[in-house]
Structure 1
């Protein structure tokens, strides 16, 4: 017959000892929390890639939700900044659905900050340490902070179209940095080696320049178009909207033509599959964006299609940057170690002493 005390002992849960933080640990965490976390956690490469991808996704989401604020006429749903009203930090019932939409978009900025923060922590904790990744993460953080302030200025000046355009262009800059960081998490830190000749790389830079001009003119279309962002009288850019829209369409066709020509050139020079696949992806995204653009133009700019077109703008920009980054490769290389004590205690990078 089994001993009852033995069965009770078997059912007793195993206690996990939680390490006690010493006073020195607490001071170290307060002085440099990133180094403190990095000393105790090493993320897998997949974790770092997912963190960078999360920051990229949120940078696109914040653009789309910002467009929803404008398209629903909620741009002044919170008429002041940083508070929602002079007397309330948050939206009130009297402000209705427009206040909820505008305040909700402001709250998404905190989600974006969390995603960028997660990317910074993951990059800082990766072993071996890659300073370039951490810098890209911090670059995103400062762009987010700058754009938050600019967004407040947009509200304070009553949705001035030039500040709205600057707000969108800075968001495009955030998407660019996030795309580069995502790509860098999947390659080494060695010197970049070109996969195609210089004439092809110059052609790609022409493509990038045309895409930048396309996005910039798109903000002018927005600034002179009918969707002002609020139901009240809002200043518009003193330009003929249809003329600017036609210029935007011409630039779009230039980008499409350059992409199509690039694909044929890459095939002719027997380029690797990476550049070919990225160029093909860009061409498909451009075709989808073009269809949406023409349909919205001939259907008097329905809000849903305009919002979808804004999403497409972000995806086109990401696809263009991926084509540029696919024209070279970065092998693994020896990287420098940070000047923290934990670097010498990590078995994967410490080496013999």
Structure 2
């Protein structure tokens, strides 16, 4: 049962990454300007009128309205009179973003729902980890570390909103998602009922680790390129896609050059796995994902960002990281068939 919940938690985290990619594609990061609620509601509004001051309307403490291009937060439970009274409201001071777009709001809200579900899945996984305490205390400790990391990731998400989508905080938020994936993948691998041994050279293992580090670096560079694209969208508009990378910055050229290196390194890994019969079957999927990642990157640059190409690029990168990390575990543990866990 424990491994089942590890898999559920892993899928839930990937769903959050997919939802986050959609948030990035649509520019919905500020769709909910507060946190953890959305405009002070557990279920966000669907009409701008719900965020406007109106006479004889009841507000609950914490609910938000947009007035004079500012966010005003209800200071208490009350019913409005015939005119706006400042004593009933507090100015929202964490930032000055006060725009309502129903699509952005609900896309961001769905992203947060997936985040909450992933947190629940990881928490249940951690509860089931106690059944493994007799066989491996490491599983229990890492399972609860995952719970802590999810909480930290939620806090990072809040800081991203409060900073009005600071590029640095977005990058840290993305890297932390990869860290969470790594911990869950380690738990999935380590709790296997049987471990297969692989006879793999140290040089090949080191190349696997190098390829994984290249992928992480590429993801970080990709967030910088995405920030540049966002800036261009703000300048030329979201319809002028052909101009978004018309005059790219240095990060783009480094990102593109890295993609060539990543392709060649993973091609070598695929080739030597076949040549020496290492038996790392997931290398085939790794190389396939590298090709898909390159294809979506080429599509964005040469075909002006086709629909869904941006979120696909990010999601494929996350899947690539996951598969690479799991293969590294297989190679790193090649002489350690020493852990057998009982299925509960």
- Provide the TM-score with structure 2 as the length reference: 0.73
1:91 to partner: Cα distance: 1.4
Aligned equivalent of 2:286: 282
Q: Assess, with a 3 A threshold, how the Cα gap between structure 1 residues 187 and 261 changes in structure 2: closer, same or farther.
A: farther
Aligned equivalent of 1:215: 219
Please give the alpha-carbon distance, in whole angstroms, between the structure 1 residues aligned to 2:146 and 2:179.
9
1:263 to partner: Cα distance: 2.7
Aligned equivalent of 1:71: 25
Q: Is the 8 A contact 1:56 1:175 kept in 2?
A: yes
Runs of 4+ in 1 over 6 A off after TM superposition: 227-231
- Asked whether 1:224 is paired with 2:228, we answer yes
Alignment counterpart, residue 11 of structure 2, candidates 49, 53, 57: 57
1:308 to partner: Cα distance: 1.1
Q: Residues 18-167 of structure 1 correspond to what in structure 2 (within 5 A)?
A: 47-85=1-39, 87-93=40-46, 94=48, 95=100, 96-126=102-132, 128-167=134-173
Alignment counterpart, residue 184 of structure 1, candidates 187, 190, 205: 190
Q: Assess, with a 3 A threshold, how the Cα gap between structure 1 residues 298 and 78 changes in structure 2: closer, same or farther.
A: same
Kindly name which structure, 1 or 2, has the bigger radius of gyration based on alpha carbons. Answer: 1
Residue 225 of structure 1 aligns to a residue in which SS?
Answer: helix
Alignment counterpart, residue 247 of structure 1, candidates 254, 270, 282: 254
Aligned equivalent of 2:328: 324
Please give the alpha-carbon distance, in whole angstroms, between the structure 2 residues aligned to 1:228 and 1:161.
14
Please give the alpha-carbon distance, in whole angstroms, between the structure 1 residues aligned to 2:168 and 2:339.
44
Q: Is the 8 A contact 1:74 1:230 kept in 2?
A: no
Q: Is the 8 A contact 1:207 1:255 kept in 2?
A: yes
Q: Residues 336-351 of structure 1 correspond to what in structure 2 (within 5 A)?
A: none
- Asked whether 1:205 is paired with 2:227, we answer no
1:166 to partner: Cα distance: 1.2
Q: Assess, with a 3 A threshold, how the Cα gap between structure 1 residues 90 and 197 changes in structure 2: closer, same or farther.
A: same
Unpaired runs of at least 5, structure 2: 49-99, 238-246
Please give the alpha-carbon distance, in whole angstroms, between the structure 2 residues aligned to 1:228 and 1:60.
28
Q: Which stretch has the larger CA shift, 305-314 or 127-136?
A: 127-136
- How many residue pairs end up in the alignment? 277
Question: Over residues 272-331 of structure 1, what are the superposed CA-to-partner deviations in whole Å (9 max), with x where a residue is unaligned?
Answer: 31x2x1222211111112111111222222451111111101111011112211213432
Q: Residues 254-269 of structure 1 correspond to what in structure 2 (within 5 A)?
A: 254-268=261-275
Aligned equivalent of 1:195: 199
RMSD of equivalent CA atoms? 2.8
Question: Over residues 52-85 of structure 1, what are the superposed CA-to-partner deviations in whole Å (9 max), with x where a residue is unaligned?
Answer: 1111111111111012122222211111223322
Please identify which structure carries the higher helix content: 1
Q: Is the 8 A contact 1:71 1:303 kept in 2?
A: no
Question: Over residues 187-236 of structure 1, what are the superposed CA-to-partner deviations in whole Å (9 max), with x where a residue is unaligned?
Answer: 569xx9763122222222221221221111111112221379999x9xxx
Residue 230 of structure 2 aligns to a residue in which SS?
Answer: coil
Q: Is the 8 A contact 2:194 2:340 kept in 1?
A: no
- Asked whether 1:308 is paired with 2:312, we answer yes
- Provide the TM-score with structure 1 as the length reference: 0.71
Please give the alpha-carbon distance, in whole angstroms, between the structure 2 residues aligned to 1:102 and 1:227.
20
